Amino acid sequence: MKEQRITDFLHSRYGFMLMALMSVAAAGGAYIQAPTMAPGAGWGPLMFSFAEWFSKIPPVSLAVAVALNFFIALLLIYINKHYNVLRSISYLFAGLFLVMEAALPTLFVHMSDGIFIAVVVLLSLIPLYTTFQDSERTRRVFLSFCIVSAGALVDITCAAYLIALFVGCFQMRCITLRTMLAAVLGIITPWWIAWGTGALSVAAIRLPEFVSLFSVLEVMKIAQVLVYAGTSLALGIGFGMFNLLKIYSYNARTRAYNGFLVVLAITTVALMVVDYNRLVIYLPMLNVCTAIQMGHFFIINRRKRSYIPVICVIGIYAVLYLWALSL
């Protein structure tokens, strides 16, 4: 009975609050120690990196980073509640996301473009999910593409997720000529507005000098980031494979929702491989995808002793956090 209570607690909002407090405490400890910030810089036609902006005012960077990480966690909870993606109400995966972010202090203590990208992608997912088998909802398709395209004005990396959105339209079974036209207009509109208002000038665009992860960090810090990324990737793939057969037995709507999350994960991993010099930028989105897969697995296997692997996962990230602080 006690074991079942522990399991239920971890899935409850109180478990989420506990993990959130742990994450904030970890962020506070990291901020006090002031670890070296790994490069999380991106570039967009309208502005340069958030990391560059906020690095000049560390307290503001800390506040914005923590606030947006919590916003991402709340978005995950909202998406699951309203679209029943995981087929059960649980707060565990959102709490695990915060724990994962806090394990690499850079992601929780410093505002970076990676956090911004994760927010943009999750916001675009909400209107897209409403279009399942409803090709008349062209405004929702327009909105999804418009959000990501607007994000690309701030960080061009967001543009890669436009491809994922096109795949998502096929998965939502809403593909028609009208929806494709809405998607194209959604992509064009933010850029047209920016150009029309004078905010975007072709003559003013300059390609930035991207900072490589491997050129600014010491060997041990690079190793720590790579191990962290490898851990999140391995957990995401592992839990995702375990979930596959169960997801296949769901109804078409839930399969489509979960399938699109897999597409987002594949897109993120592909970007990490292609743009490995800026690996840190993609870690928040990787953590989102991995946390969802872990949460889904623990919901499917919600037995009285399933709290043990949850604690093991938290322990793994606690070790990674302590390693980061020791460098």
Q: pLDDT digits over 147-168, tens only?
A: 999 999 888 889 999 999 999 9
- pLDDT of 207: 55
Dist CA 61 CA 42 (whole Å): 16
At 319, the pLDDT band (50, 70, 90 cuts) reads very high
- Which residue shows structure tokens 């436009």? 162
- Give mean pLDDT, residues 120-148: 95
Q: What is the pLDDT of residues 222-269, one digit of tens each?
A: 888 899 999 999 999 999 999 988 898 899 999 999 999 999 999 999
pLDDT of residue 170: 94
Place 13 in a pLDDT band, splitting at 50, 70 and 90: very high
Q: Is the pLDDT of residue 41 over 80?
A: no
Provide the pLDDT confidence category of residue 323 given band limits of 50, 70 and 90: very high
Q: Assign 201 a pLDDT band (cuts: 50, 70, 90).
A: low
C-alpha span between 32 and 24 (Å, rounded)? 12
Name the pLDDT band for 55 (thresholds 50, 70, 90). Answer: low
206: pLDDT confidence band, cut at 50, 70 and 90? low
- Token match 């897969």: residue? 293
Nearest CA to 214 out of 4, 38, 3 is that of 38
Burial of 301 per CB tally in 10 Å (0-12, 13-18, 19+)? middle
Comparing CA positions, the residue from 181, 172, 171, 168 lying closest to residue 138 is 181
For 92-130, what is each residue's pLDDT tens digit? 999 999 999 999 988 888 888 899 999 999 999 999 999
pLDDT, mean over the chain: 88
User: Under 8 Å CB-to-CB from 18, ≥6 apart: which residues?
Assistant: 95
Residue with tokens 């050129």: 215
